[in-house]
A and B are shown apart, each in its own frame.
Chain A
Amino acid sequence: MPDVTGKNPSRLEPIEIPRRSFLSIAALGSFFTAIGMALAGAARLPGPAVLPGPVRRFKIGFPEEFTVGSEARFEEANFFVFRDSEGIYAISGVCTHLGCSVARLPEGYACPCHGSRFESKGEVTRGPAPRALPWLEVGRAADGQLVVYADSEVAKGTRFRV
């Protein structure tokens, strides 16, 4: 390609860039870099920095209220609390498939949306749910009441000993 002076330079010689072109390219380049960076920064905006929502920590009453072998459902918080001879445990009532609330059956739980079934300890027995109903952390508040941490999952079989 002939350069600006009209001569055919050797292939090995560097191509001369006119000063104006260089300045234009530099200006455009820095402009678009800056805009690009700004947009990349702005694209982070929709990712919520603070997750709104209530504290999902529920006082459920004193341990004496739960007799051995009893169970209770907490509708608003959407979990089930059980007490057996080993202690107290809580199982989430939110289906692990697509988030519907499960119903309690004698033999376990059933999800109304896509037909998943769980046995009484939360393991999947049927349907599309990818994993067992999570067991939730149970603790005790300063006033002696039991607390269920609905956002904190614990290993299956973890019980709060009273």
Chain B
Amino acid sequence: MAPADQSVAPSASREFLANLRHLPRTVKDAWFRLGHSPVSEREESQATFHNLFLHIHSVRVHVRSLAPRLTMGLGIISVSSFIILCISGVLLMVYYKPSTTLAYDSIKDLHYVVFTGRFIRNIHRWSAHVMVAAVFLHMARVFYTASYKKPREFNWLVGLGLLVLTLALSFTGYLLPYDQLAYWAITIGSNIANSPRELTDAVGVTPWFNPGGSQRRLLLGADYVGEDALIRFYVLHVFILPTILITLLGVHFWRVRKDGGLARPEDPMGGTAEWGGKLHKVFEPLKTKTYGLMAVVKGRRATVNRGPENTLMSWPHLFWAELAVFMLTVAIVLILAFHFDAPLKELANPLVPENPAKAPWYFLGLQELVSYSAFMGGLIIPMIAWIGLALIPFLDQQPGGEGVWFGSKGEKLVALQSFFFGLVAVVGLLAFTVNFGWLRSWFPSIHQLWIIFINPGSILVLLYMAWSLWVLKRRNSIRHAAVALFTCFLVGFSVLTYFATVHRGPNWIFYWWPSQWPMH
């Protein structure tokens, strides 16, 4: 802003005083360049793209993408919980000491002494749970709305990377309190990393070729869970993994924008179109007018013969919606953190295993598989599942159905049938295993190779694959086969998680309810 009175002959000291007087206003203008909340669409668009953080969104957003039914806000919930995790995590770092002798005490200090320490730790724990759940559900949303299809294949892969990072962050955070739960969960986890030894032992090459052992040493920095493991997990948890995650998150957002926003079907030309349960009028080109392309634009389609798309200004519509989801996430986390304390068991004791030693809930499905074979259940099956998910957009390339829940014809039916098939298969196998045991119960001297390759986990995977191939053949649609496999995977994962959470007690024995566990 120019000095107020130009008429007076310029004098440096006067000007200085005038600038001083106007300081509050000029500083405010530098921060808020518009000076008032935007009133016209032009100002609203400027508010969006003149701001580093807001311009991650385009200026206008399609009405379909705003409909809560499409996304359920799951991506925003994931990132909101990550923001909460970063803030609460930094606060915890103020007191946390990554040392086997001090870690447990520092968590106790946080819990009992530090002002709001317990609340902050609860918030950190609950938002971690919310984030894992939201990331899984977000993936399911993207899958069932066929939003991984061209040109969004790359972003699907980035998302799968983010899924792995989210789980890795949870896993590394699990050790840090250094209580019994942490110690034994990480002992088990690091031995899963060691489990290729099952195979190398079975074929007798371990002395020369031991990838499992190297993996485990890389993770623990030693042959047991101790100081070296704790400091490695700490560095991974507070620096390496979050840095990679934030970077990939940037790529993820950028790709959403560059791939044309959220996936949605093309708008029809003229007439009305239905979305979000309402009928919308669609721009219709007039017969008496000629429409031309006035500029060369990048994108999948040139907007010749089309009016403005059915879009709204991102400011305020999209930003309010996102802010609302963020506030909802904060509210959920705060309520959970207020009512439920994060657990803290006794100090880690290498002599007495926690019984049962259970991983956090999202790893319990895997732990059930691990109780059949550590190598197959802990490494091979998760890898198969992950690679299968990564291949989906490259194997299913038929366009159609993008941005609509169960968009292609008959998809809902396939999903329903697969749900029941997946449920029956996993419950049947679990019931069989609990009642009759498995190969080693019948043939105690059986070679380990049989156990590795033929166990309830691998059979479940084969059943699901067979079902998906049958759907492929019967319905002659790759998308339907993918829906079948993904639904089975989701059901299997959920049932195994539930089963290991509720029905596995001490010694990993089946109990109907945790209340029936023997005291120990």
The interface of chain A, by Cβ under 8 A from chain B, is 46-48, 51-53, 75-76, 78, 97-101, 110-115, 123-128, 130-131
Contact = CB atoms under 8 A, between A and B. Distances in A.
Contacts of B223: 51, 53
Contacts of B224: 53
Contact of B507 (A98, A110, A125): A110
B222 A101 contact: no
Given A76-B351, A113-B355, A128-B371, A52 B227 contact: yes
A128 B507 contact: no
Given A112-B356, A112-B506, A100 B188 contact: yes
A52 B188 CA distance: 20
A75 B351 contact: yes
Interface stretch (B163-171, B213-221, B274-282, B312-320): B213-221
A99 B441 contact: no
A113 B374 CA distance: 12
Given A52-B222, A101-B351, A113 B357 contact: yes
B198 A130 contact: yes
Interface of B: 184, 187-188, 190-192, 195, 197-198, 201-202, 214, 217-218, 221-224, 226-228, 232, 351-353, 355-357, 367, 370-375, 437, 440-441, 444, 448, 451-452, 506-509
17 contacts: A48-B217, A51-B223, A53-B222, A53-B224, A98-B187, A98-B195, A100-B188, A100-B353, A101-B353, A112-B355, A112-B508, A115-B509, A125-B440, A126-B444, A128-B451, A130-B451, A131-B448
B93 to A, nearest CB: 22
B508 A113 contact: yes
B506 to A, nearest CB: 6
B98 to A, nearest CB: 15
B94 to A, nearest CB: 27
B202 A130 contact: yes
Decide if the interface of chain B is mainly helix, strand, loop or mixed. Answer: helix
B128 to A, nearest CB: 23
A113 B184 contact: yes
Given A46-B218, A100-B187, A100-B353, A126 B374 contact: no
Which of A100, A111, A127, A130 has its CB near the most chain B CB atoms (within 10 A)? A130
A105 B509 CA distance: 16
A97 B444 CA distance: 16
Nearest to A127: B440
Nearest first, the 9 A-B pairs at minimum CB distance are A112-B355, A114-B371, A98-B191, A115-B508, A130-B198, A100-B353, A99-B191, A98-B188, A114-B508
Contacts of B222: 48, 51-53
Contacts of A53: 222-224, 226
B217 A113 contact: no
Contact of B373 (A75, A124, A128): A128
Contacts of A130: 197-198, 201-202, 373-375, 448, 451-452
A111 B448 CA distance: 18
A47 B373 CA distance: 27
B308 to A, nearest CB: 44
Contacts of A113: 184, 188, 353, 355-357, 508
A132 to B, nearest CB: 10
B226 A52 contact: yes
A88 to B, nearest CB: 23
A94 to B, nearest CB: 10
A33 B68 CA distance: 51
B221 A46 contact: yes
Contacts of A78: 351
Contacts of B188: 98-100, 113
A98 B507 CA distance: 13
A131 B355 CA distance: 22
